[in-house]
Structure 1
């Protein structure tokens, strides 16, 4: 079978069919393990052309047994089966009057977002928020306040938000495969980068209170 367009979901199903860990799958594809984690956290994302080609090759070289398992995994689940919700931790990092943002590739366009990472079972979301911020941007931060949790209206994942304070480190793009840029933006200009309708309301309230 042919996959017309690889998404985060179908790429992760291929990983499952190959029975590989994130680390082993990343090594097989020649990309970072953090990138694989992001696919798990954002199943609706559409990969860039070069990643599509990498996944095409991986599928073609996987062999018939893997391809049969993959075809079975693609079948829609029974109505009574409930998939475990994917969870992400999102860091809203402040440095004075500035907020830290990353510009991600995906879905055929560039999008500015707050640093985020997938929360694996047993992991503390606040720890993931801090670690992923450093891994993506080189910025060390500490959690000031938990802002809340919601099912993200676009991706459908459970997102937990944390207001964080900058401790040290310059903002640099440390994940060039998924991100185009990393930058600090003035709080007053945040909605020029992320439409206000897409921002979790407690974030806007917290930023206003911190002003």
Structure 2
């Protein structure tokens, strides 16, 4: 049996494919959120957190012989190739505003210092409407109800390389609370005038900055 020294998004997706499981089934198998599994497909090069490394070690060790053989074949065929399920995924990002503030989540991220501030976001399923995904994931992550005011455009993220679709959203109701403690550490309303203290200016999509200039005080 092959030994995996380090689990990445690509290798986790390969194990999922070898086990012939859907996102929901694989998430349940590992005891993680569905969006966590989806994020591995969107970010194939991400190195997973230690607790996920251990969960995947166990899933790999307990996999049937046929599944382990399929997993080994995939890794040997293209160890550094594109992620399993090669369809390009889009992440819908909600820039939710209320007077003089914008909604942010603090994610655990093994690739940086361990924590990173971002706008609420979710992977768009094939055939799904990105605007609805942005609204749905904002509610699931933060408990905040919002509505899309206008699209801000799309780009390949300069750090992750993932295609991102941005939406300027208006706050409707709900208290900002951390609804996904597995992925996020905190949720806050950040003052617009200090946004770059949370997200480096060079990583911010320029249309976001332009849109936030019009946020009422």
Does the alignment reach a TM-score above 0.5? yes
Is 1:107 paired with 2:110? yes
Cα distance in 2, alignment partners of residues 207 and 128 from structure 1: 21
Is 1:6 paired with 2:7? yes
Shift of 1:78: 8.0
Deviations 1:61-112 (A, max 9, x none): 1022111111222232889xx9321111000000111111111112251110
Partner of 2:31: 30
SS at match of 1:135: helix
Partner of 1:162: 167
TM-score where L is the length of structure 1: 0.93
1:180 is aligned, of 170, 178, 185, to: 185
Matched residue count = 209
Deviations 1:123-151 (A, max 9, x none): 01000000000000000000011000011
Partner of 1:72: 73
Deviations 1:19-52 (A, max 9, x none): 0011111111112222222222322222111111
Cα distance in 1, alignment partners of residues 192 and 32 from structure 2: 33
Structure 1 stretch 112-121 or stretch 34-43: which is displaced more? Answer: 34-43
Given that residues 92 and 100 in structure 1 are in contact (C-alpha distance below 8 angstroms), is that contact kept between their aligned partners in structure 2? yes
Question: Is the alpha carbon distance of 1:20 and 1:83 closer, same or farther for their aligned partners in structure 2, counting shifts above 3 Å?
Answer: closer
Given that residues 98 and 215 in structure 2 are in contact (C-alpha distance below 8 angstroms), is that contact kept between their aligned partners in structure 1? no
Unaligned runs of 5+ in 2: none
Partner of 2:157: 152
Shift of 1:209: 2.9
Cα distance in 1, alignment partners of residues 193 and 45 from structure 2: 30
Cα distance in 2, alignment partners of residues 203 and 78 from structure 1: 33
What's the C-alpha RMSD, in Å, of the aligned pairs? 1.8
1:123-138 aligned at under 5 Å gives the runs 123-138=128-143
Given that residues 6 and 46 in structure 1 are in contact (C-alpha distance below 8 angstroms), is that contact kept between their aligned partners in structure 2? yes
Shift of 1:162: 0.3
Is 1:51 paired with 2:52? yes
Given that residues 89 and 159 in structure 1 are in contact (C-alpha distance below 8 angstroms), is that contact kept between their aligned partners in structure 2? yes
Is 1:92 paired with 2:95? yes
Shift of 1:2: 1.6
Shift of 1:156: 1.9
Given that residues 43 and 155 in structure 1 are in contact (C-alpha distance below 8 angstroms), is that contact kept between their aligned partners in structure 2? no
